Structure 1
Amino acid sequence: MPSRRPAAAALLLVLLAGCSAPSTSPTPPPDEVVSPVGGSALAPAEGAYLGLYYGDRPPVETDAAVGRTPQVHLTYVGWEDDWPRSAEVRGDVDRGQVSLVSWEPFGVDLADVVAGRHDAMLRERARAAARLERPVLLDLAAEMNEEEGWGGHDPGLYVAFYRHVHDVVAPVAGDRVEWVWAPNNVDSPGAPPALDYYPGDAYVDWTGIDGYNWGTEDDDHAWESFADVMGPMYEELEPLGKPVIVAETSSAEDGGSKAAWVAEVVPSLREEMPAVRALVWFDVDKERDWRIGSSPGAEAAVRALAADPYLAAEVP
């Protein structure tokens, strides 16, 4: 996966959880309250939302380039960041967007979280989240199966962490937070598979996928269509019965036509991945030039994507 953090700011640290896998790591005590989620109120019944990470240009300029304001705005926050009161989340309300908050626990010992040593901070975030004007999508400790490897690729520890954060925050924040669990589209070699980290149906409102077409700039990658990138993980997630969010995606330019790649997105969603209810473009020049404006053809294709009625779902 690409490094998602902006070069100029340290927006890092998060929360998430995994699934039940054998482990000697801490697990929730048997009497810990499990707060079932009642499903998503944000997910559209038909079609999908378009989302953006505004890493290249100010939102107003990017929106002008794509021809409209996308329904979802992705932002990255650190573990201690007061994200419910942040300027980004407040700005999303003003702009009529749903906040997708990627909460990243960099530098955090997940066992300390499970042991309750961060509960005071978590309760404060929950109280602030409960006062939000509209629900947010909270993507906790994403890509646990790949580069990030939260908790050292220990599924049992990750699951205990995700569940603990959920069980502290959810009873207070209520329907102001919808919980996202988003693995990378591929697992790290030798690491447990993504579903080993699944926290369980009672803890997750949306499942997600982060995935990119890396192109042929180096020998480690090949040109992949959108369906090639997302299809295998989608087939793993769809049986869970949750709405799916493509929480990060883009394409490189080298090795094929980026414009044609973008043009494949909506047909692939409609025909092969109907459970996808949101798709978020990672608009920044990092390991590859993931930007909407990496070429005139790419920008025109993304503009056409944004105009497609399939991605015009209205936010409740």
Structure 2
Amino acid sequence: MRTTTRRALSAAAVALAGVLSSCSAGSPGPTASASCGVPARTEGTGSGVSYGVNLDWGHQQLADYAQALGHHPAVAVSFSGFPFTDTDRTNVHGAADQVRRQGATLLLTLEPHRGLAAASDPGVLKDLTDLLTEINRSGVGVIVRFGQEMNGSWYEWGEQPTAYVAVFRKVAAAVHAAPSSTTMWAPNYGGGYPFAGGKYQTRKGTGDFAVLDTNHDGAVDGRDDPYAPYYPGDAAVDWVGMSLYHWGNAYPWGANVVPEPGKFVQQLTGTYNGAGGNDLAVPDFYAEYGVGRKKPVAIAETAALLNTSQGAGDALAIKRAWWGQIFSADVRAKFPALKMVNWFEWDKYETEVKAQVDWTAIKDPAVRAAFTAALPSWLSYGSGQSCSQG
């Protein structure tokens, strides 16, 4: 999610996560007898779609979320700065401990806020391999999403395709050196690209500007490909994902409106004509990266905007319309490469709309009841059993 700071785990959450379980990290053996969740090198080969959650770890335990949902999530998303600080390592281990007890997979999002160069230091990359190896050997599979939404202008690593691709490949090598870890490349949905006005928007006259000018007309605008310049290559990428939200139906965002019918599919396939009518140049992400490159596709983050400053009377209608599109039988039939959907379960201030936005699906009892009733049978979940170590 753009211009957002996500916390991994608060100190209290870490403390709770550290409670011993039958599969606590401890001193892992040389191999794990079982790995939680999705296997490291065969993601997306099954028939189901993994249900996951972007959890506000500072305010909720994963076990409590699972109880409210009525299912153990197959995937839990945690965010960390990279290179790691000591606090980051503690938080990642805390998240992994909670994920292990759900029989799930950790989707670890690495945010290089110190810049791409710092993330490519050999010692930093070895630190990543070592941390992933320890978590993998404790029984938890990890999918690493490095530098998400890199096609946006709101992050320190944004709109720098040359450096981003080079660093992603180095990170991928470090990830693949761990026994049960894999990578995810996940841009932001391309509607509105190149997201003018962000702090890190590329400037004319730079080498990156030339790379991003994919149609070679001397401009970087909505007619250029918002995905391809940032793609690190098939060898480095195991999963492809996208941040795909319902922010509203027209810019500027902030109005509580029900999503138009078919919006989710249209955005995924590049046929949406909303948000000012300028999205038709967006490529078909699913066809290019899911089908063409034979990669499992994830909706790494999704939810529907509810601006709480305008009241909550429309909450159920707005959110139900959005999840109804995502969980429709038509989506399952038409997009067999779609293998993961992660709901963004946060209630937070968003600078884009200058208001508190409730993205959640289970906080409000009425919304929760409708959401859990709508979860289709083709979703897959965690086992709910702690994974064992070798």
TM-score range with shorter-chain normalisation?
Answer: 0.7 to 0.9
Identify the residue that residue 321 of structure 2 maps to in structure 1: 260
Report the TM-score when normalising by structure 1.
0.78
**One of 74, 77, 88 as aligned partner of 2:77:** 74
Deviation at 1:46?
0.9
Measure, in 2, the Cα distance between the counterparts of 1:126 and 1:39. Answer: 12
Mark the runs of 5 or more structure 1 residues left unpaired by the alignment.
12-37
Q: Which residue of 2 aligns with 1:19?
A: none
Question: Residue 160 and residue 83 in structure 1: after superposition, are their counterparts in 2 closer, same or farther (change >3 A)?
Answer: farther
CA displacement at 1:162 relative to structure 2? 0.6
| Cα RMSD for the two superposed structures | 3.2
When residues 273 and 253 of structure 1 are mapped into structure 2, their CA distance, relative to the original with a 3 A threshold, is farther
Q: Which has the higher helix share?
A: 1
Query: Corresponding residue for 2:188?
Result: 184
1:5 aligns with 2:11: no
- Of structures 1 and 2, the one with the larger relative CO (CA 8 A, separation 6+) is 1
TM-aligned CA deviation for residue 296 of structure 1: 4.8
| 1:312 equivalent in alignment to 2:373 | no
Deviations 1:202-237 (A, max 9, x none): 011100011100125963477453224433233342
Q: Which runs of 5+ in 2 are unaligned?
A: 12-38, 197-201, 203-211, 213-225, 271-284, 308-313, 351-356
CA deviations on 1:121-154 (whole Å, 9 max, x unpaired) are: 3443354355341321111111101144453512
Residue 303 (structure 1) aligns with = 372
User: Could you tell me which residue of structure 2 aligns to residue 28 of structure 1?
Assistant: none
- Aligned-residue offset at 1:299: 2.0
Structure with the greater alpha carbon radius of gyration: 2
Structure 1 Cα separation of the partners of residues 324 and 43 of structure 2: 26
Among candidates 287, 302, 313, match of residue 235 of structure 1: 287
CA–CA separation in structure 2 for the residues paired with 1:9 and 1:293: 20
> What is the CA-CA distance between 1:4 and the residue it aligns to?
4.6
Q: CA deviation at 1:274?
A: 1.9
* Alignment-mate amino acid for residue 367 of structure 2: A
Equivalent residues in 2 for 1:1-316 (5 A)? 1-6=1-6, 40-55=41-56, 57-79=60-82, 80=84, 81-82=88-89, 86-107=93-114, 109-114=115-120, 116=122, 118-129=124-135, 131-171=137-177, 173-174=178-179, 176-186=180-190, 187-189=193-195, 192=212, 193-215=226-248, 219-220=252-253, 223-224=259-260, 225-232=263-270, 233-238=285-290, 239-253=292-306, 257-267=318-328, 268-286=330-348, 287=350, 288-293=357-362, 295-306=364-375, 308-312=376-380
Distance 1:115 1:63 in 2: 38
- Tell me, in whole angstroms, the C-alpha distance in 2 between the residues paired with 1:44 and 1:274: 10
Q: Which amino acid counterpart does residue 112 of structure 2 have in structure 1?
A: P
Q: Which amino acid aligns with 1:304?
A: A
Contact 1:53 1:74 in 2 (8 A): yes
Q: For structure 1, which segment, 84-93 or 131-140, has the greater mean C-alpha deviation from structure 2 after superposition? A: 84-93
In structure 2, relative to structure 1, the CA distance for the partners of 1:152 and 1:145 (3 Å cut) is: closer
